[in-house]
Structure 1
Amino acid sequence: MIENYNITKERLPFENERKDIAEVAREMFNRKMTNIAGGNISVKITPDETFSYDNQTYYANHDYLLMTPTFMSEAWFSKLNASQILVIDLETGKKLAGEGRLTREINMHIGAYKANKDIRVVYHSHAPKSMFWATLGQDMPNLTEITSFNVPLGKIKCLPYRVACSKELADLVHDELVKLGDNAKENIFLLNSHGVLITETDLHAAAQVLETVEWNAEIAYKQAIFKKLGIIDQYQSRGKSTDGMVG
């Protein structure tokens, strides 16, 4: 919730928040947390005061999304500025401000937000090490200490395959998040052959989940090889053998 948000003709609506999204998108691209095919980030924001800018009124206690534009990686290598981050009416899905076009994956983001009112961030990435498990269509073993806290539900679940940008994928994400109840507000799913989807209450927390899960993905991959070679009998985590389900 924004407190005492003062809008002036010199500032864009939600400028600080849009600048933060742009900086996170660039940093995570530079850290190879996604590829040139992109990914997308959205943040839900609810102003506590009504204000107008550029003939557009933004209403108090109404939910808006701040979202990266389509082709953020292909066209700009994620070198975005605040004005390129889109402002979207969450209720209607209509773009109200921002340069560039709306991604076709907006339906997946909206489906996630509708699943749980406490979700404030939806972060989709094509993270390479996590993609290993996603393309297998297999849950990722949860082995590291930090991911056992960041992803407390155990294995990092891979959802069944649905075509990217489809209504079927958006509906699947929505329904799976609804099943999680309160846990949906801090979660990560693997999207079969497509990447990862993080739901969070804070953008920087989502970035932390993404990077720590990428470390976990590589460690789990190497342990899977050791298991196949017979070097270890089970996955190893926090000083004991495990089936990969850390809870």
Structure 2
Amino acid sequence: MTEAYIFEAERCDLAMVAREMFNRKNTNVAGGNISVKVTAPRDINYGSVHVKKDHQYLIMTPTFMSEAWFGKLSGAQILVVDLESGQQIDGVGRLTREINMHIGAYEANPGIKVVYHSHAEESMFWATIGQDMPNVTEITAVNQTLGKIKCLPYKEACSQELAEQVHASLLSLGDDALENIFLLNSHGVLITCTDLHEATRILETVEWNAKIAYQETIFKSLGLIKQYQSCGKDTDAFLD
């Protein structure tokens, strides 16, 4: 079956994930953006669009994904960006100003295939107070690849300073950056992963964790519980 446009299957999948990201309230109308790194299997021409065999590209949600379209994107609206040059070569709409943060993440580790940024409501509570999120639920605490749910120091959204901080922070993780989530101070979350649907799972599970940790923090401050627990153990090891 011939594709109607370049990377059609991958772009349709990303459009579906972006739509669910909005529908499931994992971002808001203020934004959010997702990119996926793809490699062209062969030289392909689609009208004036040419992709080169073994060359790396990003497929990426356009700016105003949430504000203008409420996440209801078609595959053709997903942008195609030459990763080497940063040039948009296909797709409807224009690049988000946060492209520099995405490129900074990919440059930190060549194994990263997905960069997923959202303004997830429950996680935003921890991001806006600038604190690491307590890791209390079984699925997040047992998953040691996530480790701490760390909040990075504040850098202005879309700034080169934020992109550089993300790059340096991921670089310091080594291969743990292949499955990681950061809180971005006052800005949301940033997930790096090797699979788009796995990145979605990480966000969903961390959102549950964020809500439960928030409730437990209130109970602890009221003296109703003595300590956070996960898997039957005190969670100090996850908070240190």
User: SS at the partner of 1:245?
Assistant: helix
RMSD: 1.4
Amino acid at match of 1:107: N
Deviation string 1:120-160 (CA, Å, 9 cap, x unpaired) is 00000000100000001000011111112445343200000
Question: Which residue is equivalent to 2:49?
Answer: 56
Contact 1:236 1:242 in 2 (8 A): yes
CA contact (8 A) 1:155 1:244 kept: no
Counterparts of 1:193 and 1:212, CA distance in 2: 20
Counterparts of 2:35 and 2:52, CA distance in 1: 19
Q: Which residue does the alignment assign to 1:99?
A: 92
Alignment check: 8 A CA contact 2:141 2:230 kept: no
Within 2, Cα distance between the matches of 1:43 and 1:124? 12
After TM superposition, the score normalised by the length of structure 1 is 0.94
Summarize deviations over 1:50-106 as a string: whole Å, max 9, x none. 111122220111110000000000000000001100000001110000000100000
CA apart distance, 1:246? 7.1
Take 1:39 and 1:229, find their aligned partners in 2: how far apart are those partners?
35
The aligned counterpart of 1:211 is 204
Q: Once the 2 structures are TM-superposed, how far is the Cα of residue 209 of structure 1 from its aligned partner? A: 0.4
The amino acid of 1:180's aligned partner reads: L
Partner amino acid for 2:226? D
CA contact (8 A) 2:141 2:238 kept: no
- Give the Cα–Cα distance (whole angstroms) in 2 for the partners of residues 111 and 51 of structure 1: 27
Percent identical among aligned pairs is 67
Query: What SS is found at the alignment partner of 1:173?
Result: helix
The residue type equivalent to 1:178 in the other structure is L
**Which ranges of structure 2 fall in alignment gaps of 5 or more residues?**
none
Count of residues in correspondence between the two structures = 240
The residue identity in structure 1 corresponding to 2:110 is: K
Q: Letter of the 1:101 partner, please give it.
A: R
Matched, 1:159 2:161: no
Structure 1 residue aligned with 2:122: 129
Task: Give runs of ≥4 in structure 1 deviating > 6 Å.
Answer: none
Unaligned stretches of 5+ in structure 1?
1-5
Q: Which secondary structure does the structure 2 equivalent of 1:75 belong to?
A: helix
TM-score w.r.t. length of structure 2 = 0.97
Equivalent residue, structure 2, for 1:234: 227
